[in-house]
Structure 1
Amino acid sequence: MISIDIVGLRFQVRAAAIFVHDEHVLLHKIESDTFWALPGGRVEPGEDAQATIIREMKEELNESVECTGLLYTVENFFTYSNKPNHEIGLYFQAQFHPKSPLLEKSRSHIGVEGGERLEFRWFPRESLPDLDLHPAFLRECLSKPSLSFQHIVQRG
């Protein structure tokens, strides 16, 4: 994965999937975390970002997905586990097969990442402004009726 510790911070490249279905957005979190994020993962050397999303969804949920257009490029500066991070994020629209059991919105779906349990859950778009969602710009952007390409610099 493209993640290195350099000059006192962690630098990484992450690809994330934006799944929107019936005015809901799919988010996930590590069970021990208190905040939600978009599903995805760190890009491997030599791997393109869309392939990262396809690989991560297969590894975490054993689910095949399709990635479509790039929606956001994000320069994200944050602290996680007491370590400063500088992340370059590529956020793509994605979709599940129309008969996927993951489209069920009445319950959480459980996945696994490196031995840690992940919870995946659908949230109504109108509820996102009140959710502990990281990076914070997503609360507003994903609540809008239509999504359009943006370059975002997120600090904190």
Structure 2
Amino acid sequence: MSEHRIRALALCVFHHQGKILVNQFYDAESDQTLFRPIGGGIDFGERSVDAIAREVQEELNQSISDVRLLGTLESIFTYAGKPGHEIVQVYDAKFSDMSLYQQPCLIGHESDGAAFKATWRDSSSFTDTSPLVPEGLHDLLKAVSLLA
């Protein structure tokens, strides 16, 4: 039996014209579509602000600027039938390449090489059955006026 651990994450909310950039996941166990911003794990000895720059570079091959911390969330959840617990540093940033904001989607790659498509979504995309994760992110983004 594997030991359960709390995972430290850094996520980045890129916003443009009332929309944010998210990756879409499907959880067959709960029969839910989930949306999550770009980002990933924080390595030991790495600051979360550096982790988000590294993750965006690794996943999208893009550099970022104007990085600012929006807040910290704690998420306890079940995904694919397995329990999870994350402490999430949520950042806002800008792509150095401004043309990315005009593209309807961005193709990225996970650390295992699996391709994904990140799309620009507005608040109406996120519902109880298709939530924005981690828990509390939608409320945080509304509080800082990045989503309606």
Which TM bucket (shorter chain)? 0.7 to 0.9
1:145 CA drift (Å): 6.6
Aligned partner of 2:7 in structure 1 is: 12
Gaps of 5+ in 1: 148-156
Structure 1 distance, partners of 2:138, 2:117, is 19
Taking a change above 3 Å as real, the CA distance of residues 129 and 81 of structure 1, as seen in their structure-2 partners, is: closer
Amino acid in structure 1 at the alignment position of 2:99: P
CA distances 1:19-62 after superposition (whole Å, capped 9, x unpaired):
112221111135x5531101110001111101111111111111
Taking a change above 3 Å as real, the CA distance of residues 89 and 49 of structure 1, as seen in their structure-2 partners, is: same
Alignment root-mean-square deviation, CA: 2.2
1:128 CA drift (Å): 4.5
| SS in structure 2 of the partner of residue 37 of structure 1 | strand
| SS in structure 2 of the partner of residue 39 of structure 1 | strand
Q: How does 1:30-41 map to 2 (within 5 A)?
A: 30=25, 34-41=33-40
CA distances 1:130-149 after superposition (whole Å, capped 9, x unpaired):
353212422343245726xx
Gaps of 5+ in 2: 28-32
User: So what's the TM-score if we normalise by structure 1?
Assistant: 0.76
1:127 CA drift (Å): 1.7
| 4+ residue segments displaced more than 4 Å | none
CA distances 1:34-93 after superposition (whole Å, capped 9, x unpaired):
311011100011111011111111111110012522112111101122211111110011
User: So what's the TM-score if we normalise by structure 2?
Assistant: 0.80
Aligned: 1:102 with 2:100: yes
Aligned partner of 2:114 in structure 1 is: 116
Structure 2 distance, partners of 1:89, 1:144, is 17
Instruction: Kindly tell me the number of residue pairs found equivalent between the two proteins.
Output: 137
Identity of aligned residues (%): 34
Aligned partner of 1:29 in structure 2 is: 24
| SS in structure 2 of the partner of residue 38 of structure 1 | strand
